[in-house]
Amino acid sequence: MHISEGVLSASVLVTGVILTAGGVSLGLKKMDYERIPEVAVLTSAFFVASLIHIPIGPSSAHLVLNGLMGLLLGWIAFPAILVGLALQALLFQFGGLTSLCVNAFNMAFPAVVSFYLFRLFNRRYNRYTFIFSGFLCGVIGILGSALLVAISLVTTGEAFLTAAKLIVIAHLPVMIIEGVITAAAVVSLNKVRPELLTRKVKI
Amino acid sequence: MDIMKSILIGLVVLILLPSATLAHKVNLFAYADNGMVYTESYFSDGRKVMNSTVEVFDAKNNKLLLTGKTDKNGEFSFKIPQANVLRIVLTASMGHKNEYLLSKDEVKDALGMVSASEKSLPESVEREKKETSPKNMTQIYDNQLKFFIEQAVEKKTAPIMRKLIKIEKQIQKPSLQEILGGIGYILGLMGIGIYFKHRFKH
């Protein structure tokens, strides 16, 4: 899911920088003092998640955990994911440095969508919608990222539909696995620290 | 803080799982030998990169010299187009790209070997048997000797070459030190963040 150096055109890279800058500034505003350790732990989880590889036939994919991050952090997922990606790019050369902001937006935006989606689903609490919404957020995190990656690649000549199909199909197993992981995380957090899940939406 | 402790413990466990140390990057290796350049491409989980475009550029003026596709073993080889620094670029699907620079020395070495072993033994012996003066007899023996020496050296260096490629491949994998370093940076940022937020609060 990480787009390498030298693949994207300048206009896409600049758009990525602008969009990510917007997301990061919003995220930093919402990050208060007490949440910093939580953000650090989740950033570490995201950083390591890409090392967990899921074999699928001819290609390979890895865990992203952006659904879970978005669910818990909301807009703060932007700076968290940016930091995680920057470290991955610098230390493991996963993804390029010029494409850092595009990759950050591709992974952080679906995270924010998961945040709102989760709260939308849980207005009326019901055990099954709760678990399902956790699963859904995991799926949307990957699906959204896959679609955004396909859109990013359109300008490089890979026709959107074929690229989108390829990426989405390649990540279907990841979507399921992430959905399960997110649902499990949500259920256990609900037992131990429900306040992490029920923060009010600050606009 | 206990939920965070358990998440951290979970992370450590995952890091230590031997299978969970590979992921998403495409790797490209190339070496020049005997007039040809051999390239091998694969994802960092070991999967071969099949049917993907390889482009060879002259590194100085960025001129495209040739293109090709990797076969089902992730390999692509080509004859050395010119004696310069070669930049080999691999483009795999889903936005993965990587490149490998072949130094001028390596390319020149590979070309240099061509002139000596290009003539196969039977050919050179045939040609020289026609000239039977004593001066040329020593030449025949010289060339034969050269040929056999080169064969022997190539036989000995092939496993060394394979070992070097293996070592290069291992360097590409994210090491435990890098993972711990990354987490260290994150914790450091956390500390800085807490420090500044604390200062501005009071």
| pLDDT by 10s per residue, chain A, length 203 | 788 887 888 888 899 999 999 999 999 888 887 888 889 999 999 999 888 777 666 556 788 899 999 999 989 999 999 999 999 999 888 888 889 999 999 999 999 999 998 888 877 667 888 888 899 999 999 999 999 988 888 877 667 677 778 888 888 888 998 999 999 988 888 888 777 776 554 33
> Cβ A59–B43 below 8 Å, yes or no?
yes
CB-based contact, B50 to chain A, within 8 Å: yes
CA angle, corner B75, sides to B74 and B79, nearest 5? 155
| CB-nearest partner of A5 from B15, B97, B194 | B97
Name the residue range of residue A44's domain. Answer: 10-196
Least confident of A92-96, B117-121, B163-167: B117-121
CATH number at residue A172: 1.10.1760.20
Q: Do B193 and A4 touch (CB under 8 A)?
A: no
Distance from CA of B110 to the nearest CA of A (A): 29
Residue B135 pLDDT exceeds 70: no
> Do B40 and A111 contact (CB within 8 A), yes or no?
no
Q: Is residue A165 part of a domain?
A: yes
Report the half-sphere exposure of A169 (CA within 13 A, side-chain side). 9
Chain A interface test: which of B24, B93, B96 (most A C-beta within 10 Å): B24
The reply to whether residue A53 touches residue B22, judged by beta carbons under 8 angstroms, is yes
For tokens 């064969």, the residue is B151
Nearest-by-Cβ selection for B45 from A55, A92, A152 = A55
Please report the DSSP string for A53-79 in residue order: EEEETTEEEE---HHHHHHHHGGGHHH
Our count of domains for chain A comes to: 1
Report the alpha-carbon distance of residue A196 to residue A81 in Å, rounded.
18
CB contact under 8 A, A33 and B187: no
pTM, entire model: 0.73
Q: Does B22 touch chain A (CB under 8 A)?
A: yes
Angle between helices A172-192 and A160-170 (to 10 degrees): 50
Cβ atoms < 10 Å from Cβ of A194: 9
Q: Domain for residue A89, yes or no?
A: yes
Q: Is 2.60.40.1930 the CATH classification of the domain at B24-111?
A: yes
